[in-house]
Structure 1
Amino acid sequence: MTIRIQHIFALGLSLLLGTAALVAQSNDYIVGAQDVLGITVWNQPDLTGKFTVEADGTFTFPLIGRLKVGGLTLRQIEAELRSRLADGYLKNPQVSVAIESYKSQRIFVVGEVKSPGAYPLGANMTLMEALAQAGSTTSDAGDEAVIVRSSPGRAAAGPVLSDTETNSEVVRVQLGELEAGSLSQNLRLRDGDTIFVRRTASIFVFGQVKSPGAYRIQRGYTVLQALALAGGVTDRGSTGRIKIVRLVDGSKKEINAKLGDAVEPGDTLIILERFF
């Protein structure tokens, strides 16, 4: 399944243009090391400029000196600057703080996307926006993305490629619903999140079927549905003689299957001939 890039940009643009989104961005983003702040003090050009937060969470501001901002929101930084500047320097200072460059927080987008890698986490960044930054999904993407997130305060230093990691929360997202505009699937991301877009699940169907070969399946497919993908059984085939060859713990296992049995990604179905 390919998430069409125009859908991503359309949804992302609507979010960016929304007043509520802009207000939330200002209120919620937590500043950290290497973030670049754009600070404006109205009618004070000498106090207006860009300032990089250092590793210890501080930066140097004219008149004030070192200011600790790591862990604060933009609104909290504005309030602190107003308070400091009003203390003997300016009368009723008007201060505005924005993020010029997000560098302290990041996410990882891996799997079936066109440009996998680490990306800066913007304020209120959503799954759809992250996929857009990664160039959208590939043609081999399946119908599910998995978000693996560490416990609060323990952001991952690199992508978490297993959804069974201890102390991790796992969220599964249906990409079809996301593309259709489901807000419940367009989750807000956290620092250190890994978004893993799964490859489409495939099985192999051989033997007495009309169109043997490899087929993509969805989660929960049965043997009967797999046979339908392969055009059904031939006149010589028997729906009572079906075997599944499945890799279990590194070893191949042969299973006598019924039509209602579930198939798993990587299974090989073999439909045998009837006895008579």
Structure 2
Amino acid sequence: MNNASKSLRIAAIAIACVLFGATIAFSQTKNYKLFSGDILRFTVYMEPDITTEARIETDGTFMLPFVGKVDAAGKTLSELQESLYVKYDGDYFINPQINLRIIEYAQRTVQVHGQVGNPGLVAIAPDAELTLMQAIAEAGGFTRRAEERKVQITRDGEIVNRLFRLNPDSLAKQDMDSSDAQFKLQPGDIVFVPESLF
């Protein structure tokens, strides 16, 4: 293979990687459910005066010109954009070309305490899920004193009404079969790994 052909092949692979990465990023943004703390940029084509950047408040809403408070948390960008079109079309603009984008993601975290290597906050990546076992692994895994079969989760100030029984070997084996290990955490959850009495 001559140098020209080799260069073309490398360039083609690089372009494919960029396009693949862009496709993944688009898919993630498309499916992402908006969360309190996300900052959005709102624009309407040919209407620069109402361009707005706003943070979604703790009640799940944000403020926009003319229409005021808008529910946003829990919706995708496309769902929110459709609802805004209905609000603006006719009363304020004719067939408005509305664009929304996330300019900053909220920090979503859970707390992991007790008998783990590095107690503290564990971040949940945007448009991703975090399982109980993943959170414990991120927090440094179980200590020797951990009681792995009596893990507790507190959500919205209340203890989830069951004990999570985990197998420490799951951290190494990536055990996908245990429903307890794969329990999905939510932002704000507090995980506590107690100390074994024996």
TM-score under structure 2 normalisation? Answer: 0.57
Greater strand share, structure number: 1
2:195 is aligned with 1:194: no
2:173 is aligned with 1:180: yes
Query: Quick one: distance in 2 between partners of 1:119 and 1:63?
Result: 39
Residue segments in structure 2 that go unaligned for 5+ positions in a row: 1-20
**Residue 60 of structure 2: aligned partner:** 57
**Structure 1 residues 65-214: aligned runs within 5 Å:** 65-70=68-73, 72-75=74-77, 76-87=79-90, 88-89=92-93, 91=95, 93-98=97-102, 100-102=104-106, 106-118=109-121, 123-127=127-131, 129-131=134-136, 134=139, 136-137=140-141, 140=144, 142=146, 144=148, 148-149=152-153, 155-157=155-157, 168-184=161-177, 185-199=181-195
Q: Determine which structure has greater relative contact order: mean sequence separation of CA pairs < 8 Å that are 6+ residues apart, divided by chain length.
A: 2
Cα deviations by residue, 1:188-238 (Å, 9 ceiling, x for unpaired): 212443323455x5xxxxxxxxxxxxxxxxxxxxxxxxxxxxxxxxxxxxx
Pairwise CA RMSD: 4.2
CA gap of 1:62–1:147, structure 2 versus 1, over 3 A, is farther
Query: Quick one: distance in 2 between partners of 1:174 and 1:124?
Result: 24
CA gap of 1:188–1:55, structure 2 versus 1, over 3 A, is closer
**Residue 8 of structure 2: aligned partner:** none
Quote how far apart the aligned CAs of 1:41 are. Answer: 3.9
CA gap of 1:41–1:30, structure 2 versus 1, over 3 A, is closer
Quote how far apart the aligned CAs of 1:110 are. Answer: 0.8
SS at match of 1:168: coil
Aligned counterpart in structure 2 of residue 37 of structure 1, from 39, 46, 50: 39
Quote how far apart the aligned CAs of 1:65 are. Answer: 2.7
Quote how far apart the aligned CAs of 1:109 are. Answer: 0.8
Whether the 8 Å CA contact 2:45–2:96 is kept in 1: the answer is: no
SS at match of 1:169: coil
Whether the 8 Å CA contact 1:86–1:93 is kept in 2: the answer is: no
CA gap of 1:97–1:138, structure 2 versus 1, over 3 A, is same
Percent identical among aligned pairs is: 20
**Residue 256 of structure 1: aligned partner:** none
Query: Quick one: distance in 1 between partners of 2:127 and 2:145?
Result: 27
Instruction: Please tell me the residue identity of whatever aligns with 1:89.
Output: F
SS at match of 1:171: coil
Instruction: Please tell me the residue identity of whatever aligns with 1:156.
Output: D
SS at match of 2:83: helix
Greater helix share, structure number: 2
TM-score under structure 1 normalisation? Answer: 0.45
Whether the 8 Å CA contact 1:149–1:194 is kept in 2: the answer is: yes
Query: Quick one: distance in 2 between partners of 1:110 and 1:96?
Result: 38
SS at match of 2:166: strand
Query: Quick one: distance in 2 between partners of 1:131 and 1:22?
Result: 30
Query: Quick one: distance in 2 between partners of 1:118 and 1:61?
Result: 33
**Structure 1 residues 221-240: aligned runs within 5 Å:** none
Query: Quick one: distance in 2 between partners of 1:177 and 1:85?
Result: 52
